[in-house]
Structure 1
Amino acid sequence: MLKRIFKLFVELSGNKFFSAILVKTTTSKWSKYIIPLFVKVYKIDKDEMELHVSDYESLHLLFTRKLKSGSRQIASESNCLISPVDGMIRDFGRINDSSRFPVKNTEIDLREMLGSDEKAQKYKNGHYIIFYLSPQNYHRIHSPIKGNILSSWILGGVSYPVNDWGLKYGKRPLSTNFRLITEMESNYQDVAIVKVGALNVNSIHLTNETNTLQYGDELAYFSFGSTVILLIENENFSFSSHLKEETAIKYGEQIGGYLHDGGA
Structure 2
Amino acid sequence: MLDNIKIRLQYILPKQGLTKFAGWFADKNAGFVTQWAIKLFAKAYKVNMNEAQKSELTAYATFNDFFVRALRDDARPIVVLDNQLAQPADGAVSQLGPINDDLIFQAKGHNYTTEALLAGQYQLAEKFRGGDFITTYLSPSDYHRVHMPCDGLLTEMIYVPGDLFSVNPLTAANVPNLFARNERLICVFETPIGSMIQILVGATIVGSIETVWSGCVNTQREGVIKRWTYPTAHSEGAVFLKKGDEMGRFKLGSTVINLFEPNTISFNSSLIPGYATRMGELLAVSVNDEKQTDESTGS
Q: TM-score, normalised by structure 1?
A: 0.90
Structure 2 residue 179 is the aligned partner of structure 1 residue 174: yes
Per mean C-alpha deviation after superposition, the further-off stretch among 103-112 and 133-142 is 103-112
Structure 2 CA distance for aligned equivalents of residues 36 and 6 of structure 1: 26
Q: Which residue of 1 aligns with 2:17?
A: 17
Per mean C-alpha deviation after superposition, the further-off stretch among 15-24 and 225-234 is 15-24
Q: Aligned partner of 1:15: which letter?
A: K
Structure 1 CA distance for aligned equivalents of residues 145 and 199 of structure 2: 14
Q: Report % sequence identity.
A: 28
Q: Aligned partner of 1:23: which letter?
A: G
Contact 1:12 1:18 in 2 (8 A): no
Aligned length: 260
Structure 2, unmatched stretches of 5+, are: 215-237, 290-299
Over the aligned positions, Cα root-mean-square deviation in angstroms equals: 2.2
Structure 2 CA distance for aligned equivalents of residues 181 and 202 of structure 1: 17
Contact 1:131 1:227 in 2 (8 A): yes
Per mean C-alpha deviation after superposition, the further-off stretch among 162-171 and 215-224 is 162-171
Structure 2 CA distance for aligned equivalents of residues 251 and 201 of structure 1: 20
Per mean C-alpha deviation after superposition, the further-off stretch among 187-196 and 146-155 is 146-155
> Alpha-carbon deviations, 1:144-185, whole Å to 9, x = none?
111211111111322211113322343522112111111111
Matches within 5 A, 1:39-54: 39-51=42-54, 52-54=56-58
CA gap of 1:48–1:2, structure 2 versus 1, over 3 A, is closer
Q: Aligned partner of 2:94: which letter?
A: R
Structure 2 residue 137 is the aligned partner of structure 1 residue 132: yes
Structure 2 residue 41 is the aligned partner of structure 1 residue 38: yes
Q: Which residue of 1 aligns with 2:241?
A: 213
Q: TM-score, normalised by structure 2?
A: 0.80
Structure 2 residue 145 is the aligned partner of structure 1 residue 145: no
Structure 1 CA distance for aligned equivalents of residues 3 and 279 of structure 2: 36
Structure 2 CA distance for aligned equivalents of residues 41 and 3 of structure 1: 21
Q: Which residue of 1 aligns with 2:69?
A: 65
Structure 2 residue 269 is the aligned partner of structure 1 residue 241: yes
Structure 1's consecutive aligned runs of 4 or more residues displaced over 6 angstroms after TM superposition are: 1-4
Q: Which residue of 1 aligns with 2:253?
A: 225
> Alpha-carbon deviations, 1:74-124, whole Å to 9, x = none?
013111211111111111101122x12332153221101112111111111
> Alpha-carbon deviations, 1:119-145, whole Å to 9, x = none?
111111110001001111111111111
Q: Per-residue deviation at 1:58? A: 2.5
